[in-house]
Amino acid sequence: SLITTDDIRNSKAYKEYYACATDVERIEAEQLKMVLKRSRQETHISQQRGSGTDKGSGSRPGTKGREDSEGDKTDQSDDGSDDGNDDDNDETVKAG
């Protein structure tokens, strides 16, 4: 006797398999939805935090509002003389 598709679908083993398989698919789909939702939320939060903070604002993260020009000066001496500002001619005028 031939086994038909209907015979297979109506068998107890197939019904148990189908119930298990569809339940696994449902659980995986729910987990995927949760992961995607969390990912979208984290992306949204990080975009809000990062919007405009380091493009053209003159500040660096972690410096609490100090401008870059007030940061660590490693290539200039800190002896109090003119601080490397070439636009300030007061010292040469006063000295002359």
Q: Residue 40 is part of which domain span?
A: 18-51
Supply the mean pLDDT for the chain.
72
Instruction: Summarize pLDDT for 48-90 with one digit per residue, the tens.
Output: 777 655 555 555 566 555 555 555 555 555 555 555 555 555 5
Of the candidates 44, 63, 45, which has an alpha carbon nearest to the alpha carbon of residue 54?
Answer: 63
Gap between the Cα atoms of 57 and 55, Å rounded? 6
In this structure, is residue 31 part of a structural domain? yes
| Number of domains comprising the chain | 1
Q: What is the pLDDT of residue 92?
A: 53
In the predicted model, what is the mean pLDDT of residues 4-22?
A: 90
CA 69 to each of CA 30, 48, 50, 58, 90: distance values in angstroms, whole numbers, following the listed order: 51, 26, 22, 9, 20
Give the amino acid at 79: D
Q: What share of the chain has pLDDT > 70, as a percent?
A: 50
In this structure, is residue 27 part of a structural domain? yes
29 pLDDT tier (thresholds 50, 70, 90): very high
In this structure, is residue 91 part of a structural domain? no
In this structure, is residue 80 part of a structural domain? no
In this structure, is residue 37 part of a structural domain? yes
Q: What is the pLDDT of residue 44?
A: 80
